[in-house]
């Protein structure tokens, strides 16, 4: 896979992730932990079917023999699944997304601390500019009337995400002996569904809610999470986290078009900063990618 294709797929991943907020706003009766339970359950069912088709019975045999790295990644996925949806029921989409925007900074720091990666100056610069753009976009919303509890719950998403990207990156670095990390996405969904079911009882979701939650579980969650595990072999952890900031822009756009939340001029200006940082970083990366490096695309780039 070329670097350009990997970046394009990561943009698709963020587009799929971004529909969660607007879809959640159209639910009838499902709330809080019930939303998380159904989404995680539908995600687990989708992943079980898809991975069984791809891997056959070896998938389930491998799960029984899975090691600590796989389970650690599964716990990270479970925290991300659960905290994100619970946070959306406690505060606004904007507050959740701006809290999650600390992900690139945390991931870059963890990459330096645990992987010893020397990050290019352009990546640091892009992170700073994107962070300024996010702060500009949602500064007023985050400081005025938002739920502190919701923001604190949302903060668990980038923290668990940063740990997960580091685990995936270290696993990719181990080469042919690396365990298959795709089942961790399935295990994370199962853990999330099992933990939230007692908290969600009694279930109150309508048939309309179940259709929307099935969409979230299969299309918004299962498919992009499988893609991002594969892309961890092609893109560095900070680069994945930086591209994931596009979810903020897409999420605002969906809220505008699907829930009537029209962004002010500050959001448009901040969004331009984020997009500018991403485009500049990727343009520099593409210029520095030689044909020889492209042939070695399975090795994560520094």
Distance separating alpha carbons of residues 26 and 28, to the nearest angstrom: 7
- Cα distances from 78 to residues 60, 112, 181, in angstroms, run 19, 25, 14
Any domain includes 84? yes
Say how many domains are in the chain. Answer: 1
What percentage of the chain carries pLDDT values higher than 90?
A: 17
Q: Does the residue 300 lie in any domain? A: no
Domain annotation covers residue 302? no
pLDDT confidence of residue 146 = 52
Between CA 219 and CA 274 the distance in angstroms is 25
Query: Does residue 288 surpass a pLDDT of 70?
Result: no
Q: What is the pLDDT of residues 195-220, one digit of tens each?
A: 999 998 888 889 999 999 999 999 99
Mean pLDDT, residues 108-125 taken together: 77
Domain, as residue range, for 131: 3-295
Residue 165 lies in a domain: yes
Domain-embedded: residue 257: yes
Judge whether 118 lies within some domain. Answer: yes
Work out the pLDDT band at 263, boundaries 50, 70, 90.
low
Higher pLDDT, 185 or 302: 185
pLDDT tens profile 121-133: 877 887 788 778 7
- Helix 246-259 crosses helix 265-288 at what angle (to 10 degrees)? 140
* pLDDT at residue number 215: 93
The rounded mean pLDDT for the chain is: 78
- Answer yes or no: is 157 within a domain: yes
pLDDT, residue 184, reads 85
Cα 171 off chain centre by: 18
In the predicted model, is pLDDT for residue 300 greater than 50? no
In a domain, 102, yes or no: yes
pTM: 0.75
| Beta carbons within 8 Å of 247's beta carbon, 6+ residues apart | 14, 17, 18, 97, 100
Band of the pLDDT at 222, cuts 50, 70, 90?
confident
């Amino acid at each position: 896979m070329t670097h350009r294709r990997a970046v394009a797929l990561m943009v698709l991943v963020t587009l799929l992730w971004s529909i969660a907020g607007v879809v959640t706003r159209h639910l009838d009766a499902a709330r809080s932990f019930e939303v998380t339970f159904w989404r995680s359950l539908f995600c687990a069912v989708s992943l079980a079917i898809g991975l069984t088709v791809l891997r056959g019975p070896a998938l389930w045999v491998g799960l029984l023999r899975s090691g600590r790295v796989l389970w650690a990644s599964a716990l990270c996925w479970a925290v991300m699944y659960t905290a994100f949806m619970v946070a959306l029921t406690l505060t606004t989409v904007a507050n959740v997304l701006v809290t999650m925007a600390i992900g690139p900074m945390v991931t870059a720091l963890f990459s330096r601390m645990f992987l010893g990666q020397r990050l290019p100056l352009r990546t640091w610069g892009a992170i700073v500019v994107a962070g300024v753009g996010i702060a500009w976009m949602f500064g007023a919303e985050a400081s005025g009337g938002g739920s502190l509890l919701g923001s604190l719950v949302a903060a668990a998403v980038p923290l668990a995400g940063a740990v997960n990207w580091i685990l995936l990156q270290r696993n990719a670095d181990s080469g042919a002996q690396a365990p298959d990390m795709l089942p961790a996405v399935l295990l994370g969904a199962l853990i999330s569904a099992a933990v939230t079911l007692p908290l969600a009882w009694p279930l109150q979701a309508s048939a309309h809610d179940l259709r929307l939650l099935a969409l979230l579980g299969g299309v918004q969650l299962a498919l992009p999470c499988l893609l991002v595990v594969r892309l961890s072999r092609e893109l560095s952890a900070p680069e994945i986290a930086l591209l994931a900031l596009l979810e903020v822009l897409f999420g605002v756009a969906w809220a505008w078009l699907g829930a009537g939340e029209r962004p002010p001029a500050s959001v448009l200006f901040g969004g331009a900063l984020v997009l500018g940082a991403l485009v500049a970083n990727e343009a520099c990366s593409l210029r520095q990618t030689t044909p020889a490096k492209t042939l070695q695309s399975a090795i994560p780039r520094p």
